[in-house]
Chain A
Amino acid sequence: MSSTDPHRDSPFPHRHLLGIEGLQPHEILGLLDRAEEAVEISRKVEKIKPVLRGRTQINLFFENSTRTQSSFELAGKRLGADVMNMAVSQSSVKKGETLIDTAATLNAMHPDLLVVRHHAAGAVQLLASKVGCSVVNAGDGPHEHPTQALLDALTIRRHKGKIARLTVAICGDITHSRVARSNIILLNALGARVRVIAPSTLLPSGIEKMGVEVFRDMREGLKGADIVMMLRLQRERMNGAFIPSVREYYRYYGLDQEKLSYANEDALVMHPGPMNRGVEIDPAVADGPQSLIREQVEMGVAVRMAVLEALAAHLPTS
């Protein structure tokens, strides 16, 4: 994207980033343009753009995630913020401290930015309504994971030059995936054609009304696809609950070279990580020439810098 892109300087009008839902297409593009700049910064020797100097960013993770947490940590630090990681173990929450109590505790620490991951849908929204700072949703249950969708879009755009009219096939556990939901909303907003490919047990009720084309046959679903987005299958869903076994799942929904050959020749493969090699994806594909998986990680830091910077515009200055 050129640096004269009109979206870059338009201010981001939201105090929080709780989901892709509710964002206008130009706001999404604005964040992607900002992220392009962040990519440049991140590739320099001196990786600092100190727009958050003196600001406190707290990463509050109710669910473990090394990569997302470190990505947000790095993003905050590259923008000059003081970053604190707070891991909240499930057990202490279960002991009776409500999310609201946690919010009150946090408020007393006067953070400027709060990055939250929680295992329950809607939890980040609830927290955002009770704290005085800006909140970024780093994943709330199966609801949304907006920065993942943004980094996916950035990765796609850098390789294909656009999002509109591309055919994107999202494959795997759609029902339990916040990545799928955020991507479906974002990709539709930017004019892509979205497909989902999954066994029926892993498709949410009403999926056909979610702006996607539904496929149960992976080869059919991959025909003509420009982007193949694989999802992680959680271990607890593998043996009998939603699918009978890993080997049966891999047979029908694991992405190998043969199935990938049904997609367009220049199709690119993505995965939000962490991957289960041999469950949803063949190592040869994951590490092959069509894979963007490693680049997604780099784009993740850039997109999170863009988001933090955009929200920082709303922080009080006195």
Chain B
Amino acid sequence: MAQDTSKPLVLSNARVIDPARNLDAPGAVIIVDGTILAAGPEAANQGAPEGAEILDCNGAVVAPGLIDMCVSVGEPGAEHRETFASASLAAASGGITTICTMPETDPVIDDPALVDFILRRARDTAIVNVKPMAALTKGLRGEDMTEIGLLQEAGAIAFSNGHKSVRNPQILRRIMTYTRDFDALIVHHTEDADLAGGSMNAGLNASWKGLSGVPREAEIIALERDLRLVGMAKSRYHANLLSTAESAKVLQIGKDRGLDVTAGVSINHLTQNENDIGSYRTFFKMSPPLRDEDDRQAMIQALKDNVIDVIVSNHDPQDVETKRHPWAEAEDGAIGLETLLAAALRLYHNEDLDLLSLLAKMTLNPAKRLGLNTGRLTVGAPADVIVFDPELPWVLEKAAIKSRSKNSPFEDARFSGRVLRTIVAGKTVYTYD
């Protein structure tokens, strides 16, 4: 890992993909002083800078590092589940160069000093960029708004109420109105808790299992409500995790109406459905719940149609203490940093999306939404770059999981596509061997 970052780096003989320029062509990427000097076919022709280290990519893809907009880390409060060190190692090995962390920690990130704490911990222990999201309401209780301005000044990238919706529409409306003055982005969970009241997707499958179900309408109603409030407040809004076919339609209507709204979908909802739960396997328990195959297909279609903008891992480390319970009593959540890209490549291999469009959902789109200058191979941008072989087969073995928690729904899964090198600000932080 000890690399002289002052030395220029040339990634040659590569397939360069840069969604910002709609570029997918043979070429090279030249990195000098931690920033991109050139990328693409032109870089291949311009020759290596003096004293550069030249890395032959053998035709592998070079692309912007991924930006994951929904990551839970156990720090502070649950370091036994995940730390910035372990999460960032997992991220780096999965080709993720920026993680946006959820404020659902103990204590909740609802104070500027805590944002500062995260940034300092990240600086000292993390090998990828960490962009903390702050709580939208104090203690995530959904009652009182946090210090949006001060938190933003401290470095909060966006505001989230975690995996819980703000219940009271009047409170949410006021917070939305207030965030507008700071141009702050709200990343909101869309689930009506009163209507949800279950532990897996409502329907026949849940009924046979004797589990109470979370109806799709719990998400649809929350999203519809939120979009109406956005219409009133004119705020910037991002629906964090959509899961139903109807939600995509509702979001499209909001976009058609000219609202400043975007949405994300978790990799789990793009690659799994409720049948994967099998006999109460709690690693597949999450919020929103895995839906049926029609919804999964609809989520992919919504990506294709650019209705849903962003793919996230929704990385949520849980341990034996929280997962090895009867289904209804187990915590939600699955880890996903290490498998985000590999699992997303399934959509490419299934010919659902081309590589350029697929990568845009994890690079350029989140960067634009968050106002980051990464997620692209633009000259002068920070050199957050990954090299990956989209075909290389591998199997996720539990023993090889870098995350401190092992609750992966992809345990023993076969993938095609593997990250070979991850570079953050010109520095190699991960290489596959």
Contacts and interface: CB of A to CB of B under 8 A. Distances in A.
A164 interface: no
A143 B207 contact: no
Contacts of B280: 121-122, 125-126
A186 to B, nearest CB: 14
Contacts of B256: none
Contact of A126 (B206, B210, B320, B326): B326
B333 interface: no
Which of B203, B279, B326 gathers the greatest number of chain A CB atoms within 10 Å? B326
B207 A100 contact: no
Contact of B210 (A96, A98, A99, A121): A121
A144 B210 contact: yes
A143 B209 contact: yes
B329 interface: yes
Contacts, number: 73
A118 B327 CA distance: 12
A141 interface: yes
Interface in A110-125: 118, 120-123, 125
A96 B215 CA distance: 30
Given A98-B321, A143-B209, A206 B327 contact: no
B210 A118 contact: no
A100 B204 contact: no
A140 B206 CA distance: 14
Contacts of B204: 205-206, 209-210
Nearest to A126: B326
Nearest to A18: B279
Interface string A121-136: 1110110000000000
A141 B203 contact: no
Nearest to A203: B207
A209 B207 CA distance: 10
A22 to B, nearest CB: 10
Nearest to A174: B207
B106 to A, nearest CB: 17
A142 interface: yes
A278 to B, nearest CB: 28
B209 A210 contact: no
Given A121-B326, A122-B327, A123-B326, A140 B210 contact: yes
Contacts of B279: 122, 125
Contacts of A123: 326
A141 B202 CA distance: 17
Interface in B201-231: 202-211, 213, 215
A204 interface: yes
A100 B326 contact: no
Contacts of A204: 206-207
Given A181-B208, A205-B213, A118 B203 contact: no
A100 B320 contact: yes
B325 interface: yes
B202 A205 contact: yes
B403 to A, nearest CB: 21
B324 A121 contact: no
Contacts of A125: 279-280
B328 interface: yes
A178 interface: yes
Which of B202, B206, B210, B215 gathers the greatest number of chain A CB atoms within 10 Å? B210
Contacts of B209: 121-122, 143
Contacts of A96: 321
B326 A122 contact: yes
Contacts of B325: 98-99, 120, 126
Given A125-B280, A205-B204, 6 more contacts: A99-B326, A100-B320, A121-B211, A122-B210, A144-B210, A205-B207
Interface of B: 202-211, 213, 215, 279-280, 320-321, 324-329
Please give me the 3 A-B residue pairs with the lowest Cβ-Cβ distance, nearest first.
A206-B204, A143-B210, A122-B280
22 contacts: A98-B321, A98-B324, A98-B325, A120-B326, A120-B327, A120-B328, A121-B210, A121-B328, A122-B280, A122-B327, A122-B328, A125-B279, A126-B326, A140-B326, A142-B210, A143-B209, A204-B206, A205-B215, A206-B203, A206-B204, A207-B207, A210-B207
